[in-house]
Amino acid sequence: MSEQQTPGSGEPGRLYGVGLGPGDPSLMTLRAVEVIAEADVIAYHSARHGRSIARSIAERHLRPDHIEEPLVYPVTTEATDHPGGYRGAMEEFYAAAAARLAAHLEAGRTVAVLAEGDPLFYGSYMHMHKRLADRFPTEVVPGVTSISAAAARLGTPLVEGEEVLTILPGTLPEEELAARLAATDSAAVLKLGRTFPTVRRALERSGRLADAHYVERATMSAERTAPLAEVDPETVPYFSVAVLPSRVDAAPQAERGEVVVVGLGPAGPLWLTPEARGELAAAEDLVGYTTYLDRVPVRPGQRRHASDNKVEAERAEFALELARRGRRVAVVSSGDPGVFAMATAVLEAACQDLYRDVPVRVLPGMTAAHAAAARAGAPLGHDYAVVSLSDRLKPWEVIAERLAAAAAADLVLALYNPGSRSRTWQVGKARELLLAHRSPDTPVVLGRDVGGPEESVRVVRLADLDPAQVDMRTILLVGSSQTRTERRGDGTRIVWTPRRYPER
């Protein structure tokens, strides 16, 4: 009997959500045992067969005078003829269960709702908590989760240092699972059972299957662990976990090396794709221009090879040579590696006989034109051309011809590499060429350091484009004859190019 309330005293009883841990009764906390001992009512969830895992864990602490309240699910995985479907049936069940517990609490009885693992970690208790905690005094007793138990049984670190742990329900769509598994350092996937084939495919698609472990009924008598790739899907129960442990000190999986050219996007981690994030974490060696390499977090065990931005060919051959010797190499590139960036240099070098058999993959990234366009509105909403103003690798005469042709075709222009300390005249020349075909009022977006700490996005008239305000970190988006600008109600100025072009 609770010391805090006495049934019939007029005071409401206290609600407890009691975490019991992963299954072994010896992993219950002292507080959990104390609460069960004090409680008047013991509630627990079960399927229609009536067997409750939560009750079996706490059984040794139950007394004959405990009032037991089995909360029996009307449906688990089978179909239901409820007019509201599965969700409707469950909502009705939770409301009825909460009403039963509320009657005890209103009578002054202390109610302990037993929960496997932790009550607020994918636990059934939370549905009672949401319906009752605002009406009655409540305490949640945390418990050891199945993830902690699984990691302990595997005997391998789950996360280390700056690594990130991602917890996923196996009920997510395969594409979503694959993306999240590719992006994270470590992961635990719960709610397997019938979802196991989907989870296995997602692990394979993300390149993580070889690292994945399977743990079934951790700490219970029927516990089983195995490499996940070796598990028969027909044998997997709901109470099992897929675990991707720490990457630190993990043994290399690939028997031969490869090069992955990774697009970092225009700025920080918010612009990085999940696939790119995963490849950066999995690489043994990172190769790249120093400025871009500095954007990648330092990881224990990885080797970093930084170099100047004018040695693309040498950098590509160095990465391929590392891979030829069996290393897993990520070559980092700002924006999209296939847009005026490192993918071309790597592929060109990979066509040499020495590196012809080295696997090479290219992972896309958000390119600067798209990032700046999004900040400005939608200036690339219709046909557009992409031109680099750098004459380091092609003659200016070629650039001038292409600018004139694109301008005559009335294409929006995305101008990369417009200027640098050693190239200060190209922007002025480009403006002159474009004004021969475009109105002086043509809007030009100047996007500088988009996504970075010094981001600046401005819109000027083509006639007012000042070369002194353009540097290597700036991209120019020059509108067509159809591109529009407008001031919004909040004062911001937007730029867009209509998708419909007028008939001639």
DSSP string, 97-143: HHHHHHHHHHTT--EEEEESB-TTSS-THHHHHHHHTTTS-EEEE--
Do the beta carbons of residue 412 and residue 478 sit within 8 Å?
yes
CA dihedral (396, 401, 406, 408) in degrees, to 10, reads 140
Q: In this predicted structure, what is the pLDDT of residue 88?
A: 85
Cα 266 to chain centroid distance, Å, stands at: 18
DSSP three-state, residue 305: strand
CATH assignment of 15-143, given 3.40.1010.10, 3.30.930.10, 3.30.1280.10, 3.40.50.1000? 3.40.1010.10
Which uninterrupted H or E stretch holds 46? strand 41-46
Domain ranges of the chain: 15-143, 148-244, 258-363, 369-496
Just give the CATH number of 258-363: 3.40.1010.10
* Residue found under tokens 């000190």: 249
In 3D space, the residue among 427, 429, 469, 422 whose CA is nearest the CA of residue 446 turns out to be: 469
Ranked by mean pLDDT, the top range of 82-86, 99-103, 237-241 is 99-103
Global pTM reads 0.77
pLDDT tens digits, 281-334:
889 999 999 999 999 988 888 999 999 878 889 999 999 999 999 999 999 999
| DSSP-derived pairing of the beta strands 138-141 and 15-19 | parallel
Which segment of 114-118, 310-314, 498-502 scores lowest on mean pLDDT?
A: 310-314
Percent over 90 (pLDDT), the chain: 78
Beta strand extents in 417-500 (DSSP E only) = 443-448, 456-461, 474-478, 484-487, 493-496
pLDDT tens digits, 46-69:
988 878 999 999 999 999 999 999
CA–CA separation, 124 and 43 (whole Å): 11
Categorize the per-residue pLDDT at 392 as very low, low, confident or very high, splitting at 50, 70 and 90: confident
Just give the CATH number of 148-244: 3.30.950.10
CA–CA separation, 311 and 342 (whole Å): 10
Q: In this predicted structure, what is the pLDDT of residue 299?
A: 85
CA–CA separation, 403 and 436 (whole Å): 11
Q: In this predicted structure, what is the pLDDT of residue 167?
A: 97
pLDDT tens digits, 76-91:
766 677 887 878 888 9
Query: Is pLDDT above 80 for 345?
Result: yes
Question: How many Cα atoms are found within 13 Å in the side-chain-facing hemisphere of 63?
Answer: 13
CA dihedral (114, 235, 228, 117) in degrees, to 10, reads 0
Measured N-to-C along each axis, helices 274-282 and 174-183 cross at an angle, to the nearest 10 degrees, of 40
The whole-chain average pLDDT of the chain stands at 92
Categorize the per-residue pLDDT at 139 as very low, low, confident or very high, splitting at 50, 70 and 90: very high
Can you count the helices (H) and strands (E) in the chain? Answer: 14, 23
Which distant-in-sequence residues (6+ apart) come within 8 Å of 466 by Cβ? 460
Lookup: tokens for 169: 């329900």
In 3D space, the residue among 119, 114, 128 whose CA is nearest the CA of residue 52 turns out to be: 114
CA–CA separation, 178 and 173 (whole Å): 9
Cα angle 184-189-192, degrees, rounded to a multiple of 5:
155
In 3D space, the residue among 24, 46, 195, 43 whose CA is nearest the CA of residue 129 turns out to be: 43
pLDDT tens digits, 39-50:
999 999 998 887
When pLDDT is averaged across residues 401-423 and rounded to a whole number, the result is 91
Do the beta carbons of residue 119 and residue 126 sit within 8 Å?
yes
Same fold, 148-244 and 369-496: yes
When pLDDT is averaged across residues 335-361 and rounded to a whole number, the result is 95
Q: In this predicted structure, what is the pLDDT of residue 78?
A: 61
Query: Would you identify the CATH topology of the domain 369-496?
Result: 3.30.950
CA–CA separation, 405 and 380 (whole Å): 18
In 3D space, the residue among 245, 28, 229 whose CA is nearest the CA of residue 152 turns out to be: 245
Do the beta carbons of residue 386 and residue 369 sit within 8 Å?
yes
Query: Is pLDDT above 60 for 2?
Result: no
Query: Is pLDDT above 60 for 3?
Result: no
Q: In this predicted structure, what is the pLDDT of residue 442?
A: 97
Query: Is pLDDT above 70 for 7?
Result: no
| DSSP-derived pairing of the beta strands 443-448 and 224-227 | unpaired
